[in-house]
Amino acid sequence: MATSTPPASRASLKQLLINKLNPHSSTLNITHSPATTRHSPAEADQQPAWAITDRLRLWRDDARAQHLYQTAAFWGSKVYNLTANPNDAFWLAQVFFLTGQFHRAEMVLTSAKRINPDTLQPASPAIGDEQQPGQEGDDEHEGEEEEEEEDHEHEQFSFWDQLLPDDDDSQHTPDGHHHQQQQQQHTILVRMTDYSTACRYLAAQCMIRQGKWDAALDMVGDENPFRQPPQADELSTEPSKPSLDFPGQAASDGGIKFEASMCYLRGLIHLHHKALDRAKHAFLESLALDVKCYESFEALVGGNMLEPDEEWEFIQTLEYQAQTPDDALFIKALYTVRLKKFAHKHELFAALKLLKNQYGLSDDPDAAYGLADWLYTNYRFIDCYRITSRILKLHYHHLPTLPLHLTSMTMVPKLLPALFLLAHELIDREPASPVSWYAAGLWYFSQKRWEESRRFFSKAALLDARFPEAWFAFGHALAYEGEHDQAITAYSTAAHNFQGGSSSHLPLLFIGMQHIQLANPSLANDYLSAAAEISPADPLVIHERGVVAYYQEQLRAPLPLFPWQCAVDLFTHTLDLVQKAQTDPLIWASTYLNLAHCFRRL
C-alpha cells in the first residue's frame, strides 16, 4: 500500500517533474488520440477496448480538425480534468490559442493543478504503434485497477465532495478522513509548464500574443537553459560577436525541436526590446540547433541581421547532414537561394537548378524568389517583374516577393497604371499590412508627389519598424524634396535597425550620396568606402565612388593619378559589371555621361 513507504517531500517531487523536460522532442511526441485510423467491424473486434479518455481525445482532435473549436474545447476540458495530463493541457490550450483566447490558454498551462506523480505515467501510444523513446505524457490505462484508483484519487481532492451529499458515509468517518490526508500527502500542486516543454513553449507564445514580453522571457529563459556546459563555454563570447559554432543534433522524433523553437521566441523577445545583438545570437542558436526552424532563418536573412560573408559562412556550414541526412541537399539549396546575391553566383545557380530539375520546384514561390532577387540585385527590373508576376499569380501575397514586385513596377514607366491598381487592391484586402501602404507610397513617389509618398512610407514603417524598404523609400522622398539632413537621419535609423545583410551597405551608400549633394566629398568618401567593404560588387557603390573621385580634389595628394583618372577607372569598372549582368543600359546612362566628362577633363 502507499502508506508502507514514507512519502517524498513535495519539493523533491516537483523537481523530479521539472527535470523531465525534454528539449529534443517536438509536438510529434504529444499523443493526439489512441488511434488515428478507422477499422472494419472484424478488425474492431480484435482491438482493445477504449477508455472514456481515449474517446474524449478522439472527439477533441476530430472537432479541432473540422474547425469546431467550441466542441474541441468542450471535450478537451473534460479529458484534461479527468487526467490532469500535460498532453491534454497542451491540446486544450492549443484550441484556445487557435481561437485567439490567449489569456485562457495561458491559464490552462500556468495554473497550478494537483496531481499524484506516482500514478502519472507516460502517455499510451497509438494502437498499433510503438512507444517513442523519451515521450512525454501519461499512461492512465496501464491497468483497469490503476485507472480506477486514479479516478478515485481525483475525486478525493474535488470540492464536490464537500458540497454534495454522499450515500456512503465511510469517508466522513475518522478513518476515512485519515485516509484522505494520506492521499493528499502523495500529491503536489504543479504547473504544466514545469512538467512539459511543449506547455512551456505554448505558454510563452500566449504571453507574446498578449504583449507580456517580460513574462515570456521568464518562461523561455534569458539564456538557453538546455545548453550543455561545453557549448556554454563556446558561447561565452562578446554579445556583439556571437560564436557561429553551435553543435546541434537531430530531434529524437524527427520533428522540430522545442529547444530551437524556444530560442527563436527568445530572439523575438530580445528583438522587441531592441537588443539586436542578443536577438541575433538567439536566432543563430535556434537555426543551428534545428535547421528546419525556418522562422529563425527568415529572421536572420529576411531581417538583414548578418553581414553577407557571415551569412554565407553560417548557412553553408549548418549541420544539415547530421540533422536531416535524407534531406540535407534539399534544405541547403532552399536556404542558399535566399542568400544575398552580389557574390557566389555559381553556387546560387547550382542550387536553383537542383530545386528545379531534381525536386520539380520550378513554380515554388521561395525557389522562384531566389531567381527574382538575383535579377533585382543586378538591376534587371523587367525580368524581375516577369518572375514576380508568375509567383504572385500562383501564390497570392507571397510576402518576400511583394516588395520586389512593387519596386520593379516603379522602375518601369509602362507598369505605373498597374501599380496604381495593385496598390488599391492591397489596401482593400490587407489594410494592416505595411506592404500595402508601401505600394501606395511608391505610386505617389513615381508621380513625384513627395509629400504624399512620405506619409504612406511613414505609415508602413510605423506598422513594421523592421521593414527596410519603407525606411529607404522614406529617406528617398526626403532627399528628392531637398531635405538632405532629414534623409540622412532616416537612413541612419535604417542602418541601426538593419545591421547585416545586403541592406547593411545600402544605408551607408545612401548617406554617402546625400553628402555628395551637401558638397561634403570627404564624408561621402568615408561612407561609400564603408559600403564598398560590405558589398564590393555593387555597381551603384562603385559609380558613386567615381562621382566622389571626380569632385574630390584632395585625392591628388595620396594618389599618384589625377582624380579624374580614378573616376575613369571606377566608372569603367561599373560599366563592366552591368554589362556582365546584362542590365538595361538605359539605367546607367548617367554613368556613360560621367565617364565622358572624365575623358573631357583628362
The answer to whether the Cα torsion of 233, 251, 17, 216 is positive or negative is: positive
In a domain, 130, yes or no: no
| Domains held by the chain: number | 5
Query: Same structural domain for residues 456 and 498?
Result: no
Residue 26 confidence (pLDDT): 59
Look at residue 101 and tell me if it is in a domain.
yes
Angle 126-127-133 from CA coordinates, rounded to 5°: 45
Q: Where are the alpha helices (DSSP H) in 5-98?
A: 10-18, 41-46, 52-65, 69-83, 86-98
Residue count of the chain, please give it.
Answer: 602
208 and 61, same domain (yes or no): yes
CA–CA dist 587, 583 (Å, integer)? 8
One-letter amino acid at 107 equals M
End-to-end CA distance of the chain: 103
369 and 337 in a common domain: no
Can you give the CATH number for the domain in which 118 is found? 1.25.40
**pLDDT at position 184:** 54
Report the share of the chain in percent with pLDDT over 70: 73
- Same domain for 457 and 588, yes or no, is no
178 CB-near residues (< 8 Å, 6+ apart): none
In terms of Cα–Cα distance, which of 125, 171, 172 is closest to 152? 171
At 139, the pLDDT band (50, 70, 90 cuts) reads very low
pLDDT at 121: 41
CA 7 to CA 453: how far, in whole Å?
A: 72
Separation of alpha carbons 51 and 31, rounded Å: 15
Q: Of 220, 238, 271, which residue sits at a domain end?
A: 220
Please, where are the H alpha helices in 298-380? 308-316, 320-323, 328-336, 345-353, 365-377
Does 376 share its domain with 496?
no
Q: Tell me the per-residue pLDDT of 510-550, one tens digit each, with 9 for 90 and over.
A: 999 999 999 888 899 999 999 998 888 889 999 999 999 88
Cβ(276)–Cβ(306) below 8 Å: no
Question: Do 115 and 67 share a structural domain?
Answer: yes
Residue type, 589: A
Q: Is residue 27 part of a domain?
A: yes
Q: What is the pLDDT of residue 175?
A: 52
Under the banding of pLDDT at 50, 70 and 90, the label for residue 162 is: low
Shared domain check, 10 and 106: yes
Contact 97, 105 (CB under 8 A): yes
- Backbone phi and psi for residue 221, each to the nearest 5 degrees, phi listed first: 95, 140
Please write the tens of the pLDDT for every residue from 205-262: 999 999 999 999 999 998 888 876 544 444 433 444 444 455 555 554 578 898 999 9
Give dist(CA 183, CA 359) in Å, integer.
60
Q: What is the pLDDT of residue 500?
A: 55
Query: What type of residue is 140?
Result: E
Contact 505, 306 (CB under 8 A): no
Q: Which amino acid is at 255?
A: G
Q: Which of 317, 332, 353 is where one domain is finished?
A: 353
Global pTM reads: 0.78
Cβ atoms of 299 and 267 closer than 8 Å: yes
Same domain, residue pair 16 and 106: yes
Q: Count CA atoms within 13 Å of residue 375 on its CB side.
A: 20
Residue 581 resides in a domain: yes
pLDDT for the residue numbered 309: 83
Region 425-431: mean pLDDT is 93
Last residue of a domain, one of 436, 461, 481: 481
For 312-329, what is the mean pLDDT? 91
Q: What is the mean pLDDT of residues 367-391?
A: 93
Q: Considering the domain boundaries, does residue 241 fall inside one?
A: no
Q: Find the range with the poorest average confidence among 284-293, 346-355, 562-571.
A: 562-571
At residue 190, what are phi and psi to the nearest 5 degrees?
A: -140, 145
User: Do 472 and 505 touch, CB atoms closer than 8 A?
Assistant: no
State what percent of residues in the chain have pLDDT above 90. 49
- Whether 324 and 347 share a structural domain: yes
Q: Domain check: are 306 and 377 in the same one?
A: no
In a domain, 160, yes or no: no
Please answer whether residues 583 and 592 qualify as being in contact, where contact means their C-beta atoms are separated by less than 8 angstroms: no
pLDDT at 562: 62
**56 part of a folded domain:** yes
How much is the pLDDT for 534? 83
- Are residue 524 and residue 424 in the same domain, yes or no? no
Lowest model confidence (mean pLDDT) among 157-166, 290-299, 466-475, 522-531:
157-166
Q: Is residue 237 part of a domain?
A: no
Domain that holds residue 21: 1-38+49-122+143-155+178-220
- CATH code of the domain in which 570 resides: 1.25.40.10
Whether residue 205 sits in one domain with residue 106: yes
What cell does 415 get? 507598369
Residues 6+ apart with CB under 8 A from 274: none
Interval 160-176 mean pLDDT: 50
Q: Which amino acid is at 481?
A: E
